[in-house]
Amino acid sequence: MLNFLNKSKCILPKIRYFTSTSSLRNTAENLSKENETQLTKVTDKTAREAPIILTQSFDTYEPAQVTGCRQVWIENIDDVQERKLGIIELHPDVFATQPRVDVIHENIEWQRKYRFVSFAHSKTRAEVRGGGRKPWPQKGTGRARHGSIRSPLFRGGGRAHGPRSPTTHFYMLPFFKRVMGLTATLSVKLAQDDLHIIKDVEIPSGDHQFLKDLIIERNWGPSVLIVDKEDIFPENICEATDKLGYVNLMPAYSLNTYSMLKHDTLVLTINAVKHIEERLLYQLHRADSLVKNAPFKLSQV
């Protein structure tokens, strides 16, 4: 089945304007030698590689939903032309949850604010230059009593209750809202067909044009986030993405809601998928959930 799908990508573009069986046969026989050589290479390569079939096991964590596993094609990135290497089943509790837009929004706002420090600063009456003497006597002038022309009541005076720097906007989102934000974002990416699974991150060349042509051929969109389990990536893909500002690499332990939504396409390796499923399923079924629901304290960091 996989060999047929891979070979059809080379044949179908040449015969898309024909419908009858005889026309299809004649067109296939009249293919150029160049296309026949390319088809032979693809056939030989796919024949040597056994299809990858990765099924889902529910021995450790049974799904909380009745929905079945999501099945996704495993793609290659060693060539610009797309080939199906196999099928992987994704756990429904991670990749098929309810798309909670409100939880995703809370995660985005939290990631934007918890590292933000405001440096807006205004001077009080004590910090403004001047205003040391009393502007006029306390009594006898008929005017209101004042002790300094730098009072907040005067133009050019200090500001009462103004912003003082540095002001942090740090706060912690509840633990399980952060976990739910990851599962909801992964489910949305998969439902929108913006999630792709690849075998590994090995590419044959460090030329950025190869990766650029691959993204255009696969229709991966204007920005791509490639995630692997390890934080040390191969040299070729690091060199290729270094000149492409819209393609970023990230280890699985750094995956977050903001980065997934910032990029149009999310590309995961098989090892990254297994690692993400293992960690998120553990967090969803951990025994000390009541402790994790406790209010955040700085002393626990």
Report pLDDT digits (tens) over 176-224. Answer: 999 999 999 999 999 999 999 999 999 999 999 999 999 999 999 999 9
For residues 166-202, b (16+ Cβ closer than 10 Å) or e, as one string?
eeeeeeebebebbbbbbbbbbbbbbeeebbbbbbebe
Q: Are residues 132 and 188 in the same domain?
A: no
Query: Which residues of the chain form beta strands (DSSP E)?
Result: 52-54, 70-75, 84-90, 117-118, 167-168, 195-198, 224-228, 247-251, 265-269
Query: Which of 234, 211, 218, 196 has its CA nearest to residue 74?
Result: 196
Let me know if residue 256 belongs to a domain: yes
- Model pTM score: 0.77
Q: Are residues 238 and 194 in the same domain?
A: yes
Listed residues 168, 190, 205: the one ending a domain: 168
Other beta carbons within 10 angstroms of residue 61's beta carbon come to 17
Tell me the three state secondary structure of residue 91.
coil
Paired tokens of 273: 């998928």
Listed residues 133, 149, 168: the one ending a domain: 168
Let me know if residue 232 belongs to a domain: yes
Tell me which of 60 and 165 has the higher pLDDT: 165
Q: What percent of the chain has pLDDT over 90?
A: 70
Q: Are residues 149 and 273 in the same domain?
A: no
Let me know if residue 194 belongs to a domain: yes
CA distance 175 to 31: 59
Q: Are residues 146 and 279 in the same domain?
A: no
Whole-number average pLDDT of the chain: 85
Q: Are residues 133 and 244 in the same domain?
A: no
Q: Are residues 94 and 182 in the same domain?
A: yes
Q: Are residues 137 and 239 in the same domain?
A: no
Is 70 exceeded by the pLDDT of residue 119?
yes
Domain that includes residue 203, residue range: 52-114+172-286
